Structure 1
Amino acid sequence: MTSKTAQVATTKKTIAPKKGQPVSVPEVVTKKKNTAAKKKVKTPPAAKKSAVKAVTGVKHITFQLRFHTSFGQDLLILGDHPLLGNGQPEQAVPMQYFNEEYWVLTVPFETADCTGPVTYHYLLRNADGSIQHDWGNDKSFDPKSLKVTELHIIDTWNYAGYFENAFYTEPFTKVLLRSNAIHVKTKKVTSVSHILSVKTPLLQKGQTVCVLGSGNTFGYWDSSDPLLMSKDDGSDFYRIELNLSKENFPIAYKYGVYDTIAQRLVRYEDGNNRILHEASVKDKLMMVNDGFAVLPNNVWKGAGVAIPVFSIRTEHGLGVGEFTDLKKMVDWAVKAGLKMIQLLPVNDTTATHSWTDSYPYAAISAFALHPLYLNLDALVKDDVKLQKQINVEKAKLNALPEIDYEAVIGFKTKLIQKIYTAKGQDTLSSAGFQEYFEQNKHWLQSYAAFCYLRDQYGTVDFNQWPAYRHFNQQEIDFLTARESAAHTEIALHYYVQYQLHVQLKEATAYAHDHGIIVKGDIAIGVYRHGADAWQHPELYHMDAQAGAPPDDFAVAGQNWGFPTYNWQQMQADGFAWWKQRFEQMGYYFDAFRIDHILGFFRIWSIPMDAVEGILGRFVPAIPVHINEFQQRGISFDHHRFTKPFINDNILWELFGYDNELVKKEFLDYDGFGHYTLKPSFATQRKVETHFHTLEQDEQHEKVKKGLYNLISNVILFPAAENDHEHFHFRIGIENTSSYRYLDTHVQGLLKDLYVDYFYRRQDEFWKQEALQKLPALKRVTNMLICGEDLGMVPDCVPDVMKQLGLLSLEIQRMPKDPKKDFFHPNDAPYLSVVTPSTHDMSTIRGWWEEDRERIQQFYNHELGQWGEAPAYCEAWINQAIVLQHLYSPAMWAVFQLQDLLGMNAALRREDPNQERINIPANPKHYWRYRMHLSMEELMKEVSFTNELKGYIEASGRS
């Protein structure tokens, strides 16, 4: 693939600038220029009117793409026109190899067949059949607007990984860079032979692109009066029309940056001169798309604050943050110099009507918003009675240091019902609601019916419903019809979702008006007993559980309980569900974080009979064949490798003096010094069920955990039931006593095969898995995408994310290089987000108190401090870590609000352990963190806010 700097062709006739200097013009050209100085023409004169044969429209179009291919690769073109494949990738039109630099395609064309502009892009087909897309949706032409019979388009491939592409996503074009755009008037020509187009995203306010070059039209490189280019609203390209019919070819030219206020050339683009080789011919137009101007493209940097909506505290809140409170967060972010507010998922999680619903990653709908975030005040402005009820509850709930989830959602549910009874029909009859309903009916109707049935039958588990357990669209149409007895109760959920939609849209629009973008979060999983799984069960593997392998934060792994995705089925319909999900995110957010993006490469899949994540394996994965053991000199013992290894020593290690009790109740002796689990306790789920009926005390918990460990004390899992030839390794075999009791030689041989299984054989396989999904999904949205690429990261992940221009997540205490103890923010790639902590971790201050030895190492080597590390994270230490991140080369530095407040000894919370949002190792964690300051109080802390703004500006993130 061509590099950006190789986009311009050079020949011996190229006029190249000296390093660090403007273009110098050869003496002979200078003399010619001087003799013509008095009649120099910057824009070609209008062509004289003459009687010519009437042009009937474009008859032929030639596409010429600059691209150097390797053996086995070929190029195709795809556009929204029947001659260009009609938008169907399988009908893309092959191009012809012209030479090492170009591929071409000429197609006959009938302008009359065109109703408007034609949009197209290129595809690269590799030798293995995989497809890469030329990025963007901005290549187009309008045949009806052209007065020629021949159109020749010279294009440049747009690699998705180019930094510049990030700046053409919505957060930049609609918010962050919007004010920089200016309108430049350019001189028009009546006879156009060439159109030049180029992109560059990071011009300052008052700047535009200009073009200079050899020849009379280009002014013989006169930098005092270059040709200015203009950019139309909605277009990414700077463009200029030229009449080069009287010029001598080839012509050398170069783009530059022009300051329209100071009226001077700021600089030339880097790299070699560009060359126009082909002269003008009558009734032929040359359109040249030069891709990106070669200018610095990694100089924009921004800072953001991460805060869950539920954590925002205001003086007039109802014990929890609401969508309307985002406006106050925006006001503070503006004063602090921040550019982004990053949120956790805001989807409805109402499964049990209890505090367990506080987990924001277990949404019962991937589309519906959570009623928790609805501001009631906005709905009862003219109802004094309801206002009083709300104010009484506010006084109690808003005084709490943490969220009382059940009290808040219980009160809101009752009040929403009263408001709906009084005003619901007016809202449901409005034009705004009708438009919203039609746009969202594909999920809203089924979600509302699901919520109604959940409450009618008293359970979210649709498998237990006496009726409607299997989704049937006709039955749901009948249930939700206006004539249905259930319609009023079902429409309550329409009403709530519409009001949430309006409030969140208003909040994000307010953010945009103040130059702030809002970043959302897409959870990797869906709730097992949610509306998505009910409506589309074919899209999920309901016989598996998604989770994560063991790490430093969860030594037994994580079991999220979500079903895994049936990617084959999703791919069959073009990932329609995912595309709808991305579209829904686009209603409210400018950017989003893909939770656990590694799941698009492979997911950690756990059997339904397991409780802990440690019994999972990656799916898909290439298994180990039984012959591989024999080839490596390993005598294969099926029972020894695939069954729990239990002897007296292991039982003593796990249970101590309780081992006799365990032998008696849970194990069978095999007569050879080993034990097996009784069938009634052979799985973790069976053990969990047994202990659930017993008293929840310390001894029972110890025995239960010990039995879990026995069950997971294996080395291999059969690839499938009754498959005796293919196996997957249990992760972390070296930590099992089963492995420890093997012969040392066998241990070494097994470990080699284990390393090959996890770190070598799967890499290309997982890469291709991701490339079947992620490019197709990225093409349906123009939001900025960040992937949460943490955990056990395959080697192929960075390359795929770089190819697609996805921002990575870099965390100081979680280095991706296993040879490093910490990641330094200064080593971050540009297309990344750096942060010192996330919602799944302790804050900077909390982390400082967790591991004394590790912190001492960090203090000396990462902070460069001598001596013993302080026992507590003093404000200056917190500040130093924040500054490290602000000065990182990463595009974004994002901080939890707690970490920003941690820089100020007077403002921060006394106990850092109260600032933690989630503990991943605890599946029953109660998500209830609230700011200890209200937004109104924070706004009054002018000194702190100005100090933070100063740091941000000094680091170049403003």
Structure 2
Amino acid sequence: VWVSGSNTQLGHFNANSAIKMAYEHPNLWTATVTVPFIKEPLRYKYLESQGNLISWEKGPERILEMELGTLENTFLLKDSFRLHPMPEHEIFASSAFRNVVFRRDERKSLAITRAEESSAYYKAMVLGKDAVLLRLNVFAGRVKATDEVCIVGSLDELGGNNQAKAVPLSDSRAPFWTLTIPLHPNRMSFTYRMIIREKSDQKNVIVVEEGEERSFALTEVEQLILSKCSKPPIVFAGSSINFRYARNWKGSGISVPVFSLRSKSSLGVGDFVDLQKIVDFCVKGGYQLLQLLPVHDTTVYNSWRDSYPYSIVSNFALHPQYLNIEAIGDLPGSVKEDLKKEKERLNALTQVDYEEVMAVKTRLLRKIYAVKKSEFLVSREFLDFFKENQSWLVPYALFKLFMEINGTADYERWGDRSSVRVKDMEVLAAPDTFHFDYIGMAYFVQFHLSKQLKEASRYAAVNEVVLKGDLPIGVNRYCTDTWVNPHLFRLHMRAGAPPDYFAENGQNWDFPTYNWDEMAKDNYAWWRSRLSNLSKYFHAYRIDHVLGFFRIWEIPERFTTGISGRFYKSTPITREELSKRGLWDMDRYFSPYVHDGILHQEFGNNAAQVRERFFEPTWGDRLKFKEEYNTERKIADELKLPDSAAASEKKKVEFLKQRLFMLMNNVLLLVDEEVPTEFHPRIGFHNQSTY
């Protein structure tokens, strides 16, 4: 058994530099370590090794606060190796529970607690040689603000087993509750139990720990170690004791998209101010959590297609549709009149008209910005916001500008601006440029969106409702992030899901996959900043398709369905392996298997017409797709109909497209996109005619 921790003496959590512990007798291992005094808590964990196999104990890192007693202390840590995870810690120490559900706005100050701990230490010194200072650290993450954790034990100092005399623990570090008491040399063994009681009525015990009473005693080895101390040692009865609840905690919540929260104060769509109304509803209904869909900006096409909340154009920018214009405050008179008229019109609609809402809000915001820009751009509040968010705000504003100028988000069609460097952005976004009003407008909108969402988050927390966000697994192919950091993405590939009972062609989300090797070079800074930004607004967040962090269904960009994908990363089949098994006709395995019989089977009397348009002969009786139709994306582009096309025509073309896609994927093997001599089985190939 070994111990490692956060400083040099403990090896910085490196198993190769850990401290080896001495075996005393069954179930007891010891180690003595000298470390320098530091004010920051010391973190550590135990691990065991069996040959070359190393296993760290389960649960979070242990914490030792060294600001007890004097600058030279002896600490005795009585820990038990954790064989099992600690879900109670993982969940109830999170900000959602610590700062919201079981928030404690009023708690004993840490300064007072430390003064009490110092007083207890000097009392131990007065008790004489062999006295110790006992430190209890109890994790109780489910304690209401009106309640407190107490200890009742067999010692008089612990109430003499009388619950009415139970001793309260300090909540300065809650959800870790602490008590520090001096122990006389003759009173080193006792039993105890934890309880939770109401602070205002100490007779009202809410919860009594289940199970047998706990016990404390020093072993002979421990007593021998402590007898050599010149000053009272500080004994930690475990780095943390979990309060034993009789029942699991239960809560409930609501999942709703913000755009659905339309109210009388909205402008045709639910907004961030409306969140406060649904929080009030949660309070009345006894709900503890409010979960939203993603709220990032998704504006790519400037049409209804942008209403899909998972196709984001920035990891940080919020969607302008969620801005409550009235909450900006001090609106010009002309805007007030226009706003009142548009609210009546858009709120009367039975459904959200995304395109109309965006058009109206954009028009009104431009009017407001034109009036407020001079004062806004020099305000201390905005300058602080800009300083904190400049790294993403400037690229986002420029992306929006060039998207507007070029009429497309496809930056590969932006000419010289198809790529961008930091020094270019500094020049392009300078306040003296002729186009700065467009950039300043983006700053203005994002500033107020952030302000309104933070206020909604604060309101939810005060009312003990967890605001839970949603983190999309991917980003739009043409977005700020892929424009600025293309090296972090596999832009030639798309994320999706394999075929299943619900989607026989699989799913192609049209998001680029991640270049994890490249991201690892800076310790995943892109992801860290993304998660950190979300935590400004949300107390918890759902990670969409979390499995994608470990392996993802990846599809070449030339496909629109998910059939011809494979898991990335996965082990390929080499050409040598195939040859050893007598499989040499590679073209037969990875080219679409099509002949006249298959066309007749799929298209009946229309087979000749389809053959003439889409195929050409190859060797034997085989057919191959013509160059202009040899990918799914080419076929989809060729067969695309205008929105005004008749329903019967759309149905006919959709049937043709799906049949052609089926033939396109009538293969046994997929050629690896990076290594052409390696292959992957096409999922479900045994159900295809080529097999």
| Short-chain TM bin | 0.7 to 0.9
User: What is residue 413 of structure 2 aligned with on the other side?
Assistant: 464
Equivalent residue in structure 2 for 1:700, among 639, 653, 662: 653
Distance change >3 Å, CA 134–CA 481, structure 1 → 2: farther
C-alpha deviation, 1:608, in angstroms: 1.4
Give 1:338-417 correspondences, 5 Å limit: 338-417=287-366
SS at match of 1:475: helix
Return 324-333 or 155-164, whichever deviates more. 155-164
SS at match of 1:526: coil
Provide the rounded CA distance (Å) in 1 between the counterparts of 2:346 and 2:574.
60
User: What is residue 810 of structure 1 aligned with on the other side?
Assistant: none
Query: What's the CA shift string for 1:602-642, capped at 9, x where partnerless?
Result: 111111111111111110112245676689x7856534432
Give 1:743-822 correspondences, 5 Å limit: none
User: What is residue 151 of structure 1 aligned with on the other side?
Assistant: 75
C-alpha deviation, 1:212, in angstroms: 5.0
Letter in 1 for 2:540: A
C-alpha deviation, 1:484, in angstroms: 3.4
User: What is residue 93 of structure 2 aligned with on the other side?
Assistant: 168
Distance change >3 Å, CA 712–CA 422, structure 1 → 2: same
- Given that 1:202 and 1:297 are in contact with CA atoms closer than 8 Å, whether structure 2 keeps it comes out as no
Letter in 2 for 1:247: N
SS at match of 2:361: helix
1:422 corresponds to 2:347:
no
Letter in 2 for 1:329: I
- Given that 1:163 and 1:297 are in contact with CA atoms closer than 8 Å, whether structure 2 keeps it comes out as no
Equivalent residue in structure 2 for 1:108, among 34, 42, 51: 34
- Given that 1:367 and 1:581 are in contact with CA atoms closer than 8 Å, whether structure 2 keeps it comes out as yes
C-alpha deviation, 1:141, in angstroms: 1.6
1:120 corresponds to 2:43:
yes
User: What is residue 96 of structure 1 aligned with on the other side?
Assistant: 20
Letter in 2 for 1:702: F
Letter in 2 for 1:197: N
Provide the rounded CA distance (Å) in 2 between the counterparts of 1:145 and 1:423.
58
Provide the rounded CA distance (Å) in 1 between the counterparts of 2:212 and 2:430.
65
Give 1:228-247 correspondences, 5 Å limit: 228-247=167-186
C-alpha deviation, 1:134, in angstroms: 6.1
Equivalent residue in structure 1 for 2:586, among 612, 616, 638: 638
- Given that 1:547 and 1:560 are in contact with CA atoms closer than 8 Å, whether structure 2 keeps it comes out as yes
Query: What's the CA shift string for 1:378-425, capped at 9, x where partnerless?
Result: 235452221110111122211111111111111111111111110123
User: What is residue 127 of structure 2 aligned with on the other side?
Assistant: none
User: What is residue 201 of structure 1 aligned with on the other side?
Assistant: 141
1:567 corresponds to 2:492:
no
C-alpha deviation, 1:215, in angstroms: 6.1
Letter in 2 for 1:727: F
SS at match of 2:252: strand
C-alpha deviation, 1:580, in angstroms: 1.0
User: What is residue 203 of structure 2 aligned with on the other side?
Assistant: 263
- Given that 1:211 and 1:253 are in contact with CA atoms closer than 8 Å, whether structure 2 keeps it comes out as no
Return 184-193 or 162-171, whichever deviates more. 184-193
Letter in 1 for 2:208: R
- Given that 2:10 and 2:19 are in contact with CA atoms closer than 8 Å, whether structure 1 keeps it comes out as no
Provide the rounded CA distance (Å) in 2 between the counterparts of 1:610 and 1:646.
18
C-alpha deviation, 1:590, in angstroms: 1.0
C-alpha deviation, 1:522, in angstroms: 0.1
User: What is residue 754 of structure 1 aligned with on the other side?
Assistant: none
Distance change >3 Å, CA 133–CA 681, structure 1 → 2: farther
Ranges in structure 1 where 5+ consecutive residues have no aligned partner: 1-68, 740-958
Give me the TM-score of the superposition, normalised by structure 1: 0.63
Provide the rounded CA distance (Å) in 1 between the counterparts of 2:408 and 2:57.
46
Distance change >3 Å, CA 90–CA 490, structure 1 → 2: farther
- Given that 1:84 and 1:92 are in contact with CA atoms closer than 8 Å, whether structure 2 keeps it comes out as no
Provide the rounded CA distance (Å) in 2 between the counterparts of 1:225 and 1:96.
45
RMSD, aligned CA = 3.2
Letter in 2 for 1:729: P
User: What is residue 653 of structure 1 aligned with on the other side?
Assistant: 601
> How many residues matched?
656
C-alpha deviation, 1:258, in angstroms: 4.5
- Given that 2:45 and 2:61 are in contact with CA atoms closer than 8 Å, whether structure 1 keeps it comes out as no
- Given that 1:180 and 1:206 are in contact with CA atoms closer than 8 Å, whether structure 2 keeps it comes out as no
- State, as a whole percentage, how many aligned pairs show the same letter: 31
Return 491-500 or 222-231, whichever deviates more. 222-231
Provide the rounded CA distance (Å) in 1 between the counterparts of 2:68 and 2:195.
32
1:510 corresponds to 2:459:
yes
1:141 corresponds to 2:93:
no
Distance change >3 Å, CA 700–CA 471, structure 1 → 2: same
- Given that 2:104 and 2:144 are in contact with CA atoms closer than 8 Å, whether structure 1 keeps it comes out as no
User: What is residue 682 of structure 2 aligned with on the other side?
Assistant: 730
User: What is residue 883 of structure 1 aligned with on the other side?
Assistant: none
Distance change >3 Å, CA 213–CA 335, structure 1 → 2: closer
1:433 corresponds to 2:382:
yes
Give me the TM-score of the superposition, normalised by structure 2: 0.86
C-alpha deviation, 1:554, in angstroms: 2.4
Give 1:290-689 correspondences, 5 Å limit: 290-293=239-242, 295-296=244-245, 299-625=248-574, 637-670=585-618, 672-689=620-637
Distance change >3 Å, CA 655–CA 542, structure 1 → 2: same
User: What is residue 662 of structure 2 aligned with on the other side?
Assistant: 709
User: What is residue 253 of structure 1 aligned with on the other side?
Assistant: 191
- Given that 2:102 and 2:145 are in contact with CA atoms closer than 8 Å, whether structure 1 keeps it comes out as no
C-alpha deviation, 1:669, in angstroms: 3.7
- Given that 2:470 and 2:543 are in contact with CA atoms closer than 8 Å, whether structure 1 keeps it comes out as yes
Provide the rounded CA distance (Å) in 2 between the counterparts of 1:129 and 1:478.
55
C-alpha deviation, 1:518, in angstroms: 1.0
Provide the rounded CA distance (Å) in 2 between the counterparts of 1:498 and 1:407.
23
C-alpha deviation, 1:297, in angstroms: 7.0
- Given that 2:667 and 2:682 are in contact with CA atoms closer than 8 Å, whether structure 1 keeps it comes out as yes
SS at match of 2:417: coil
SS at match of 2:295: coil
SS at match of 2:240: strand
Distance change >3 Å, CA 234–CA 582, structure 1 → 2: farther
Provide the rounded CA distance (Å) in 2 between the counterparts of 1:432 and 1:155.
48
Return 493-502 or 505-514, whichever deviates more. 505-514
- Given that 2:397 and 2:439 are in contact with CA atoms closer than 8 Å, whether structure 1 keeps it comes out as yes
Provide the rounded CA distance (Å) in 2 between the counterparts of 1:142 and 1:733.
63
Provide the rounded CA distance (Å) in 2 between the counterparts of 1:341 and 1:225.
39
Letter in 1 for 2:4: L
1:178 corresponds to 2:116:
no
Bigger relative contact order, structure 1 or 2 (CA pairs below 8 A, ≥6 apart): 1
- Given that 1:224 and 1:264 are in contact with CA atoms closer than 8 Å, whether structure 2 keeps it comes out as no
Query: What's the CA shift string for 1:638-659, capped at 9, x where partnerless?
Result: 3443222224443233212111
Letter in 2 for 1:738: T
Provide the rounded CA distance (Å) in 1 between the counterparts of 2:30 and 2:518.
37
- Given that 2:193 and 2:213 are in contact with CA atoms closer than 8 Å, whether structure 1 keeps it comes out as no
